[in-house]
Amino acid sequence: MRLATVALALLVAAPAAAEPVRVGSKKFTESVILGEIAAGLLRATGAEAEHRRELGGSRILWNALLSGEIDVYPEYTGTLIQELLADAPGDLSDPAVLSAALASRGLASTGRLGFENTYAIGVRQDLAEQRSLRSIGDLAAHPKLALGFSNEFMEREDGWPRVRSTYGLEALNAQGLDHDLAYRALAAGEIAATDLYSTDAEIAHYDLRVLQDDRRVFPEYQALLLVRADLDPAVLEALARLRGAIPPQTMIGLNARAKLERVPEARVAADFLATLDVTADVVETGRAARVLSTTVDHLELVLVSLIAAILVAIPLGIVAARRPRLGQWVLGGVGVLQTIPSLALLVVLIPILGIGAPPAIAALFVYSLLPIVRNTHAGLTGIPTPLIESAVALGLPPHARLRRVELPLAAGSILAGIKTSAVINVGTATLGALIGAGGYGQPILTGIRLDDTGLILEGAVPAAVLALLVQGAFEIAERAWTPRGLR
């Protein structure tokens, strides 16, 4: 009895003590680095922390923080003011009003990190020195400079049109071009200035100077860490060490190391923390270990969703075959589910199931239904009438007829439906990485972000191999399970 009480107390107490702080990050390099920094800092102070990286866009992270699925993530004031808290009352550019708006949602900020990541205009360092360009307004004195801006920046009302009118740059000539081409044109001396984000890695790489926005045309995008207000005060205190600790040049340098030099974000973060006299351990996993871990994640997504779909879809297919009128609704219903775009489905599922594997599994489950329901229905309705009547006339009750005659005769079709679902699932499961479910989509997503073909292949090749293996396994199973009489 006493032992049981102690065990119970341990069970109740243990999770609370071991509950790690969950740091989230958005799916771009700067956010991942900041997430690594926050998690590394917490670990160095003795707290348990895990970094759930590249979970998605602002809305997903914000909702995950509100629902308590994550405890911390890096955000920008501009995003808060213009998007996430857009319907909050008062002037949110006032820090006190912003804090109050966050507090009313059970959130807080650990303070600004020291840099902002907003639209900016950059010029070549040599040109800037030569013409003594410091702020955007200085451009007005040099109407012959050629400017090249990304097409989006050219067209956005708060982009070039507002900059031009605010700083009186009507005399300057600006042309629209692709963002990546703009950097090359800048390096080649064909244009003097372009639009960029103020912490872009390329600023360091191409040796650019960011012109000051004295008149604040661009909205303020100060970086900060958003946290849940109910976090352990010790955690909040630890994170507060990052307040003002990352000046713009530092962030540009960190982005450049990760993005241009391909240094893993964890290593970049640890090296930064070392400058704060914080020692963070970096666990660098080899390729084989990474592939193994993504394989396990991927198989979990595929298998759990597929098994659930089999358990639901076969009975649905049976019902559809037994009751033709209801069957039309069932087939129509699962058909409609199939047409929901995967991203839309994931977004709908996140408020219900949170982020990570559950919504991904639910989405895969939904997409697995149609092939299995349809093939079960087709297999059962395709059985020749004389065979059905023979089974009926024999005096087999309906359930025995189903089990001993109809399902075995439809088995080939049903198995083919399951195979289709499984193969499609292996491919579709890569999308799970968009919402933090892991799997082969994770290296693909990171590879796209870092423009790292090797990393993309690390997800794409195993996904293709797995699809082929699944296909092969089903074909072997089909051969093994089909009775001689049906071959």
Partner 1 sequence: MLTFRGVRKSYGDVVAISALDLTVRPAETTALIGPSGCGKSTLLRLAAGLVLPDTGTVTFDGLALSPATIEAARHRMGYVIQEGGLFPHLTARANVTLLADHLRRPRAWIDDRVESLRDLVRLPADSLARFPTELSGGQRQRVALMRALMLDPDLLLLDEPLGALDPLIRADLQRELRAIFGSLGTTVLLVTHDLNEAARLADRILLMNEGVLVQDGTFADLRDRPTGSFARRFVSAWDAP
* Residue 463 to residue 471: CA distance in whole angstroms: 12
Nearer to partner 1, 341 or 397 (CB): 397
485 binds partner 1 (CB under 8 A): yes
394 binds partner 1 (CB under 8 A): yes
* Residue 331 to residue 212: CA distance in whole angstroms: 61
391 binds partner 1 (CB under 8 A): yes
* Residue 161 to residue 248: CA distance in whole angstroms: 26
Closest distance of CB 352 from partner 1, Å: 42
User: Helix 453-481 to helix 287-322 angle, to the nearest 10 degrees?
Assistant: 40
Which of these segments, 48-56, 71-79, 202-210, 389-397, binds partner 1 (CB under 8 A)? 389-397
Other CB atoms closer than 10 Å to residue 21's CB: what's the count?
Answer: 23
478 binds partner 1 (CB under 8 A): no
Is residue 80 within 8 A of residue 112, CB to CB? The reply is: no
Q: What Å distances lie between residue 155 and 85, 158, 161, 425, 476, CA to CA? A: 26, 9, 7, 40, 57
* Residue 139 to residue 92: CA distance in whole angstroms: 31
Nearest to 264 by CA among 71, 122, 452, 127: 452
15 binds partner 1 (CB under 8 A): no
Judged by CB under 8 A, the chain residues 396 through 415 that form the site for partner 1 are 396-397, 400, 404-405, 408-409, 411
233 binds partner 1 (CB under 8 A): no
Residues 6+ apart with CB under 8 A from 324: none
381 binds partner 1 (CB under 8 A): no
Nearer to partner 1, 81 or 416 (CB): 416
In degrees, rounded to 5, the angle at the alpha carbon of residue 92 between the alpha carbons of residues 91 and 97 is: 90
Which of these segments, 59-67, 266-274, 388-396, 433-441, binds partner 1 (CB under 8 A)? 388-396
386 binds partner 1 (CB under 8 A): yes
Closest distance of CB 485 from partner 1, Å: 3
Nearer to partner 1, 144 or 484 (CB): 484
Q: State both tokens at 318.
A: 């049976």
Number of residues near partner 1 (by CB under 8 A): 21
477 binds partner 1 (CB under 8 A): no
* Residue 437 to residue 358: CA distance in whole angstroms: 8
418 binds partner 1 (CB under 8 A): no
479 binds partner 1 (CB under 8 A): no
Query: Interface with partner 1 by CB under 8 A: which residues?
Result: 386-387, 389-397, 400, 404-405, 408-409, 411, 483-486
